[in-house]
Amino acid sequence: ILNVEQSPQSLHVQEGDSTNFTCSFPSSNFYALHWYRWETAKSPEALFVMTLNGDEKKKGRISATLNTKEGYSYLYIKGSQPEDSATYLCAFGGSQGNLIFGKGTKLSVKP
Amino acid sequence: KAGVTQTPRYLIKTRGQQVTLSCSPISGHRSVSWYQQTPGQGLQFLFEYFSETQRNKGNFPGRFSGRQFSNSRSEMNVSTLELGDSALYLCASSQTSGRYNEQFFGPGTRLTVL
């Protein structure tokens, strides 16, 4: 059974803090790694799709890195803002064809 | 461009009944994937349709089925509903394979089985 693990499960930070979360996935048969942000009462929204080992992607204050050989990805948020409060999901795309999602990291940013 | 739409948004059914959920993808997207979200669980993959063909299927019983029409709209059917089927059902569309391309999610259908 393929497993995608995210840590921590939840995180509480103060506005202005920088933070990061981890996504662990199988290191074999890798095709793509996705990150999504899911705000309460909204739909999940794609942040990044990463396919190459060593990939680094950035969108504003949010960035992500990818290590396919050891099977992990980090998501970084610089200078967290209250509007960053959401659940961050990663999803592994492997030879099975479909995406396998982790359970997410729930981020709460206090003003 | 209009986003992914799902109907209905909320549904209450009783055990033993069946239900059909609908998903209209973004125009031009040919892949539609369905997911189930229950408390404490991540998004569980149900199936993916591409050009009217089921491309992948998750580990769900045969009571869960789906189809895709020529205009890429997709329906999901659950027969003989059980209490454990209460969940948020999300569909997501992508241009081609859901594995490589970012998926665009709809607002979901909240199903409650009594």
pLDDT one-digit tens code per residue, B24-68: 999 999 999 999 999 888 899 999 999 999 999 999 999 999 999
B42 and A93 in contact by Cβ < 8 A? no
pLDDT exceeds cutoff 90 at B97: no
For B55, B92, B102, the CA distances from A47, given in Å and listed in that order, are 25, 15, 8
Residues of chain A with Cβ-Cβ distance to B10 below 8 Å are none
B108 and A32 in contact by Cβ < 8 A? no
Q: What is the dihedral of CA A74, A78, A81, A85, to 10 degrees?
A: 0
Query: Stretch B77-81: mean pLDDT, rounded?
Result: 97
How far off is chain A from B84, nearest CA to CA, in Å? Answer: 19
In this prediction, residue A74 carries a pLDDT of: 98
